[in-house]
Every structure is written in structure tokens, then in C-alpha cells.
Amino acid sequence: MEERDLTSLKNKYDIVGNDPALNYALDIALKVAPADDLTVMITGESGVGKDIIPKIIHQNSPRRSGKYLAINCGAIAEGTVDSELFGHEKGAFTGAIEMRKGYFEEADGGTLFLDEVGELPLATQAKLLRVLQSGEFIRVGSAKVLKTNVRVVVATNRNLMHLVSHGKFREDLYYRVSSVHIDLPPLRERREDIHLLFRKFSSDITEKYFRTGVMLTEDAVVLLKKYRWPGNVRQLRSVAESISMLETAKAAPGKGRVVIDAMTLANYLPREEGNTLPVLSDHGSQSSMSEDEKEMFIKILLTLKQKVDALESVVYGGKQPVSVTPSLPAASEFVMAPQAQDLREDPDEQIDEEPARKEAEDDTKTIADMKDDLIVAALRKYGSKKAAAEALGISERTIYRKLKQLGIK
């Protein structure tokens, strides 16, 4: 397919990405669309973007003026699946007060998308094979053979061959539906598309809600690309949308985009089992860190340290402005192993003696005491439980409990 056609297809269907495997999938979809008796099988993990393919196939086929129905086979109760797909006669079972057409009858002349086809019970699979081979089907509770002319596209996030070998999917049906196979690779195998997709989902939402846009730091982009994305594009979309709504909630309009650093992003990425940081999950927990990962790791630790410094300044009354989400220093600054002071916003700032004296005194304090001090100091500084809780990154409830415990009103 020509580059131009591909671009216009993506524009039309709001598809973002340039990965060769994605382009290949779209190309195959367009090529098989006109051959409207061919069944197509789409595979790929959950959230990779399978849903759009059958729509493209339908709308670019001679059936485009016919019906398009998408059915999630995994969402139908096992007892009613035959009746849903093939219909039933009045009185076929308790509750069948009227004759009802099934999807195969409804979609006559059109396209039926059977999502999660691997979930169909074996008895239904036999009926599906029959209708695919001959167009024939029977309504539940009837003996009359009816005919329909439906193109079927199936999708699955399971390994159907594996189901076949375990007797859970009919082998003959497998060969019938898999004559054309379109596979969408997981997002982690399309790294170059990840940032593009993030920007798309983020700008969609900020435009819709008139929010300030967001911009990822270089480190955040590295993390975004390294993360394993078990929920694929669906998960990326939800992360991009949450960040774009939540992180811009307090941004003053017209002040430029809100900068999202790796630490902030990491808060939105669920930890995966066996991994402490999402960034380390790429090659499994056995392997050692790559240089990139090490650098990221160090930066995250440094950002944490900056936060601690900033919070200390609240406790000890330092004059430097408190920023709870400091931006990361540029990579080059790490080469020289900076002292803590070098990370302050104003290195020339006078360090007064007061904090030093306090520090000595604090040596005898327990961590718990310091935590109490921190909460009280943050409350003084911010004047409200809510603001203090936000600055400390703890819940308002924790503050409330602490105050009660300390007997402070």
C-alpha cells in the first residue's frame, strides 16, 4: 500500500503509530476487505487495538452498506450463547416469550465481529463452523434450517492453537477461521509508537477539557518506553488521560505546558510483581540493569533526595522555596557527583546557622518524632490539612489521625 493511503486510513480511523507491524496489519486488512467471503482472525493481547480492524474490513468491503455487529463472546452467559448467535423460537425455553432473531440472522448481508471467540463453548463452535461453511443455522427450539450471508471476523487474545491442543477449541474451526491471520504485537514491541500515542491521548483530553497541555521530560520518555505495558494501548491511554487531568488540575492557564518528570510518571504505573520499579521490568528480574536503567534509577533517587531536602527545609525553616515536584537536573550534572547544596535552587544562598544547631539537637530524635515535626511544620506552613497532606504526599486522614494522637486541635 502506498504511504499516502496508509496515512489517510490512519487519519480516518484515528489510529496513531508508525510501527512496521501495525502498518502491515492495516495493509492486510485493506487487502482482504474486498474478498468478502474470507473469514479473518485477529490476534493480540488485550488492549493492543484489535477492535478497529474488523471495522476497517467491513467499511472497505462490498458489504459496507450492510450491518456491522460486534459481539463479545466472552460476555455472553454460556446458557444463552446459542440463542444470542442463532436466535430462538417462541417457547424454546422458559422466558422465550417471543421469537428472537440471532446475530447471524440480523447481520445477513453484513459483517459479524466475534470478539473473544476462544470463549465459545464447544457445542456452539460446531454451529459456528456450520454457518461458516454453508451459511446454514437453526434457531434454538426450531428444526428449520435457515440461511444467512454473513462475513465473520474473529478476534482472540488467547493462543487458539494451545486451546486446540487442550481440546477446548475445535481444530477444524481453527483452520476455518485462521485462513487470514492479522496479528497485532504488544505495545512493548512497538516502542517507537509509545510516546506518539501518549501525546495523542494526552492532547485529546486536554483539548476536550480546556486544560493546559503536558510535556514529558527526557527521563519520563525513557521510562514510558521501558515500561512493560501489560495492558497495552488501553493502559497507556488511561495513564495519559489520568496524568493530563490530574497533573494539570492546578496549572495556571497560559503558563506553558505542565512538565511531567519520571517520578511523577512512575506514580501512575502500577508496580508489577517481583519488580520494585516499573523501569526494571523490561528484561525480567534476573538480568542486570542496563546503563540507561542505571541512569534512570540514579535520577529517581536524586529526585527523592531533593524532595526530602525540600521537606527538611519546611521543618528546619530553611529559606529555599519548597517544590514537591522538582524538575530533574540534566544528565550531565550527574557526572560530577554533586553535593547536596549543588542541587538547591540557589547555590549562592546563605546557609544560616539555625538549621545546623537544630540538626545537632535532632540527632536524639526518633524517626517517628521527626515525622510528627514534619506534619506540624507542614500544617503551619500551608495552613490547611489538605495542602499539608498534598505537600507531604500523605492522606488527609493520616494528618487528622496524627493531630488527634498529638492532641492538637
Taking CB within 5 to 8 Å according to partner kind, which of ligand ADP, Mg ion, none is near residue 289? none
- Cβ-closest residue to ligand ADP? 49
Q: Which is nearer to ligand ADP, 53 or 314 (CB)?
A: 53
Q: How far apart are CA 65 and CA 147, in angstroms?
A: 20
Q: Which is nearer to Mg ion, 53 or 258 (CB)?
A: 53
Taking CB within 5 to 8 Å according to partner kind, which of Mg ion, ligand ADP, none is near residue 47? ligand ADP
Q: Which is nearer to ligand ADP, 225 or 237 (CB)?
A: 237
Please state the closest distance from residue 153 (CB atom) to Mg ion, in A. 12
Place of cell 476497517: 56
Q: Does 346 bind Mg ion (CB under 5 A)?
A: no
> What type of residue is 193?
D
State the Cα torsion 362-366-371-374 to the nearest 10°: -10
Please state the closest distance from residue 190 (CB atom) to ligand ADP, in A. 9
Residue pair 26/10 in contact (Cβ under 8 Å)? The answer is yes
Please state the closest distance from residue 66 (CB atom) to ligand ADP, in A. 22
* Binding region for ligand ADP (CB under 6 A): 14-17, 44, 46-52, 233-234, 237
Cβ atoms within 10 A of the Cβ of 136, count? 14
Q: Which is nearer to ligand ADP, 85 or 197 (CB)?
A: 197
Q: Which is nearer to Mg ion, 51 or 359 (CB)?
A: 51
Please state the closest distance from residue 194 (CB atom) to ligand ADP, in A. 11
Q: How far apart are CA 250 and CA 234, in angstroms?
A: 26
The radius of gyration of the chain from alpha carbons, rounded to an integer in Å, stands at: 29
Q: Does 51 bind Mg ion (CB under 5 A)?
A: yes
Please state the closest distance from residue 103 (CB atom) to ligand ADP, in A. 18
Q: Does 75 bind Mg ion (CB under 5 A)?
A: no
Cβ atoms within 10 A of the Cβ of 32, count? 19
Place of cell 496524627: 402
Q: Which is nearer to ligand ADP, 155 or 378 (CB)?
A: 155
- Cβ-closest residue to Mg ion? 51
Q: Which is nearer to ligand ADP, 72 or 267 (CB)?
A: 72
Taking CB within 5 to 8 Å according to partner kind, which of ligand ADP, Mg ion, none is near residue 234? ligand ADP
Q: How far apart are CA 122 and CA 206, in angstroms?
A: 47
Q: How far apart are CA 294 and CA 19, in angstroms?
A: 27
Q: Tell me the longest C-alpha to C-alpha distance in the chain.
A: 95
Of the candidates 291, 292, 302, 211, which has an alpha carbon nearest to the alpha carbon of residue 258?
Answer: 211
Residue pair 19/232 in contact (Cβ under 8 Å)? The answer is no
Q: Does 369 bind Mg ion (CB under 5 A)?
A: no
Taking CB within 5 to 8 Å according to partner kind, which of ligand ADP, Mg ion, none is near residue 56? none
C-alpha cell at 326: 522538582
Taking CB within 5 to 8 Å according to partner kind, which of Mg ion, ligand ADP, none is near residue 54? none
Q: Does 37 bind Mg ion (CB under 5 A)?
A: no
Please state the closest distance from residue 311 (CB atom) to Mg ion, in A. 45
Phi, psi of 165 (to 5 degrees): -70, -20
Please state the closest distance from residue 301 (CB atom) to Mg ion, in A. 39
Taking CB within 5 to 8 Å according to partner kind, which of Mg ion, ligand ADP, none is near residue 402? none
Residue pair 44/186 in contact (Cβ under 8 Å)? The answer is yes
DSSP track, 301-341: HHHHHHHHHHHHHHHHT-SSPP-SSPPPPPGGGGTT---GG
Please state the closest distance from residue 54 (CB atom) to ligand ADP, in A. 10
> What type of residue is 204?
D
Binding residues for Mg ion (CB under 5 A): 50-51
